[in-house]
Chain A
Amino acid sequence: MLSFIIAEIPRLFTSYNIILLLHAALVTLALSAVGCAVGLVFGFGLSLARLSKRAVFWPVKVIAFLYVEIVRRVPFLITLMMFFFGAQVLGFSFSPLLTAFIASSVISTAFVAEIVRAGLMAVRPAQIEAAEVMNFSVWTTFWHVRLPQAWPIMLPPVFSYFVLFIKDTALASQVGVLELTQAGKILTTKGFSASLVYGAVLVLYFVISYPLARFGNYLERRIGAARHSRPRSAV
């Protein structure tokens, strides 16, 4: 059996199939990156709403809280299906790719909002009080006091969430988005051995994800070290 599979290798890696796989790998990366970028923007908005002390904002606060708590507890597959079938039923004609982009943005907004909130909360209250004493406006306090200190705290977890999310986007193949897993499905349908094709897909995911994960670790050590002013033990 192994000899059959080895004999198949040159037939699988023709230039057309390699282009298909690389294109699919780019889509996988884009899904995760766009999801996280959108998630960062909206996540900031949500966590700012949750942290604000103005009484006027309480409905926004409640909605933000419910959004974060609920969306993080729904499987990505269900969210995808909800948007996929929901768009059809309501008469929008979204492409599968757009559906996947929307669903991944919705999910990552909730996760990133939680990370951002933790980062903003980690800034010492004394700093904010000092800013108040110096008569800084709310905006100045946020921009010049809170954000510069919260940024290094939240950057590493956001990045590692981005790397984690690369693996979750494999589920987008279920609505027909041509990403890495879907490319694998197409190739097996063409008659290549499943073990060989999915083995190759696994390797491609690993090649994308592993360097990014290592970079994330480096980022964490680097920024963490700068923040703690003494290097943490490197274990």
Chain B
Amino acid sequence: MHYVLHYGQITPYLPYLMGGMLISLALSILSFTGGMVIGLFFAMLRHEGGIPARLVRCYVAFFTNTPQLVQIYVIYFGLPDFGILFSPFSAVLIGMTLNAAGYLTEILRGGLISVHQPELDAAETLNMNRLQTLRHVILPHLFRVTMPALTNQYILMTLGTSMAAIFGVEELTGRAFNINSTTFRSIEIFTTVAGLYVVVTFIATILLALFGRWAFRARVPVV
């Protein structure tokens, strides 16, 4: 139990860690955006009913009931069996996007259900076409209602980017592993990285809350 903490050995690596954090952020933002696009489309399909809705239900059930890690394993190690090769970064990005799409479909569907029928009737009375209704009636309501859940999902996804390290992407966690194997200062490096994740997600929470208030007048507590 004689262990002396040496954070001094970690400080030279801080810029290196910051660079890794940028990659983590890029990964989370890209996959969240991709997931939102797919999720929105799927939520609409799910709302319309019929055979597409059933397929979307199967998709959601599959992707929300299996671990993201194993999904990326299949993409990164499994698909080469069929001649499809991805770089680690794109494999993780695709896996995270597909996974996020599953969860975001469910969240957005919850929002779609809560759109009031009279508002849609009013849009029809004003002779709005479907695209206009979507843009001016449905989407503002949808984002205002689902903003807290979306923020939460984004935070969880930022934490989820740490599994990219397993596939050799040098993001925050990957670089922590590298530093760990050069300095053997495990406790110091992992507490530092944990602290960085806390700071990043905290800033993200505040920024997203402010953005939600500004853009959608969402009632989100800032802290």
Footprint of B on A, CB under 8 Å?
1-2, 5, 70, 73-79, 81-82, 85-86, 88-91, 166-171, 173-174, 180-181, 184, 188, 193-196, 198-199, 201-202, 205-206, 209-210, 213, 235
- 13 extra A-B contacts, CB within 8 A, seeds A70-B198, A75-B159, A170-B70: A73-B202, A74-B197, A75-B160, A76-B162, A78-B176, A78-B194, A86-B190, A89-B186, A167-B66, A170-B68, A170-B69, A195-B78, A235-B113
The dominant DSSP class at the A interface is helix
Q: Are A74 and B159 in contact (CB under 8 A)?
A: yes
CA distance A220 to B70 in the complex (A): 28
Which chain B residues numbered 35 to 79 have a C-beta less than 8 Å away from chain A? 61-62, 64-71, 73-74, 77-79
Q: In angstroms, how far is the closest chain B Cβ from the Cβ of A193? A: 5
B140 at interface, CB cutoff 8 A? no
Contacts of A205 in B (CB 8 A): 65-67, 70
A-B contact pairs, 15 of them (CB 8 A): A1-B82, A73-B197, A74-B159, A76-B162, A82-B187, A85-B190, A86-B187, A167-B66, A168-B67, A181-B67, A181-B70, A184-B70, A194-B81, A201-B73, A205-B66
Interface string of B173-191 (1 = CB under 8 A from A): 1001100100000110011
- Known A88-B186, A235-B113; judge A206-B65 contact (CB<8 A): yes
Contacts of B100 in A (CB 8 A): none
Q: In angstroms, how far is the closest chain B Cβ from the Cβ of A138? A: 29
Which one of A73, A76, A166, A173 has the highest number of Cβ atoms from chain B below 10 Å of its Cβ? A73
9 closest cross-chain pairs (CB), A and B: A85-B186, A195-B78, A170-B67, A75-B162, A194-B77, A167-B67, A209-B65, A195-B81, A170-B69
With CB as the reference atom, state the residue of chain A lying closest to B200.
A73
Q: Are B180 and A85 in contact (CB under 8 A)?
A: yes
Contacts of B146 in A (CB 8 A): none
The dominant DSSP class at the B interface is helix
How large, as a class, is the contact surface on chain B?
35 or more
Contacts of B198 in A (CB 8 A): 70, 73-74
Which one of A5, A77, A90, A194 has the highest number of Cβ atoms from chain B below 10 Å of its Cβ? A77
Contacts of A2 in B (CB 8 A): 82
Q: Are A75 and B197 in contact (CB under 8 A)?
A: yes
Q: Are A199 and B67 in contact (CB under 8 A)?
A: no
Contacts of B113 in A (CB 8 A): 235
Q: Are B163 and A77 in contact (CB under 8 A)?
A: yes
Q: In angstroms, how far is the closest chain B Cβ from the Cβ of A154? A: 17
Q: Are B81 and A77 in contact (CB under 8 A)?
A: no
B19 at interface, CB cutoff 8 A? no
Contacts of A166 in B (CB 8 A): 67
Q: Are B173 and A5 in contact (CB under 8 A)?
A: no
- Known A1-B83, A205-B70, A209-B66; judge A198-B78 contact (CB<8 A): yes
- Known A76-B159, A89-B187; judge A181-B194 contact (CB<8 A): no
Q: Are B80 and A90 in contact (CB under 8 A)?
A: no
With CB as the reference atom, state the residue of chain B lying closest to A209.
B65
CA distance A2 to B70 in the complex (A): 21
B193 at interface, CB cutoff 8 A? yes
Contacts of B81 in A (CB 8 A): 1, 5, 193-196
CA distance A232 to B167 in the complex (A): 44
CA distance A188 to B66 in the complex (A): 19
Q: Are A198 and B83 in contact (CB under 8 A)?
A: no
B3 at interface, CB cutoff 8 A? yes
Contacts of B78 in A (CB 8 A): 193-196, 198-199
CA distance A88 to B71 in the complex (A): 31
Q: Are B73 and A194 in contact (CB under 8 A)?
A: yes
Q: Are A91 and B1 in contact (CB under 8 A)?
A: yes
Q: In angstroms, how far is the closest chain B Cβ from the Cβ of A114? A: 11
Q: Are A90 and B1 in contact (CB under 8 A)?
A: yes
Which one of A75, A79, A169, A202 has the highest number of Cβ atoms from chain B below 10 Å of its Cβ? A75
Contacts of B68 in A (CB 8 A): 167, 170
With CB as the reference atom, state the residue of chain B lying closest to A208.
B65
CA distance A174 to B198 in the complex (A): 22
Q: In angstroms, how far is the closest chain B Cβ from the Cβ of A94? A: 14
Contacts of B162 in A (CB 8 A): 75-78
Q: Are B66 and A198 in contact (CB under 8 A)?
A: no
